Amino acid sequence: MGAEAKSVNNESRWKLSLDSWAVVVALLAALLIRAGVFKHVPW
């Protein structure tokens, strides 16, 4: 297997699904709110 193919394989192993990205972003937003970076989110 060539180095390029290996690197593509390694890359896809770490690629997150849309689902997982949504969880990561939502949890990050929750942590920022918890840390007081965003004190108020208007609606």
Partner 1 sequence: MADVVTVPQVQPVQPALRFLRVIPGVLLLAAIGYAGKLLEQNVGAYAKAHHWTFPNIEYVLWAIVLGLAISNTVGVPEIFRSGVATYEFWLKAGIVLLGARFLLGDILKLGGVSLVLVAVEILGSLAFMTFLGRLFKLKPKLTTLLAVGSAVCGVSAIIATKGAIEADDEDSSFSIAAILALGALALFTFPVIGHFLHLSDRAYGLWAGLGVDNTAEATAAGALYSDAAGKLAVLVKSTRNAMIGFVVLAYAIYWASKGQAQAVGNKAAFLWQKFPKFVLGFLLISVLATYHFFNKDQVGALANLSRWAFLLTFAGVGLRTNFKDMRKQGLRPFAVGAIGEVAIAVFTLGLVVGASKLFHW
41 is an interface residue for partner 1 by CB under 8 A: yes
6 is an interface residue for partner 1 by CB under 8 A: no
The minimum distance between CB 10 and partner 1, in angstroms, equals 14
9 is an interface residue for partner 1 by CB under 8 A: no
Per-residue CA distances from 26 to 3, 4, 8, 33, 43 (Å): 35, 33, 28, 11, 17
Question: Footprint of partner 1 on this chain (CB under 8 A)?
Answer: 17-23, 25-27, 29-30, 33-34, 38-43
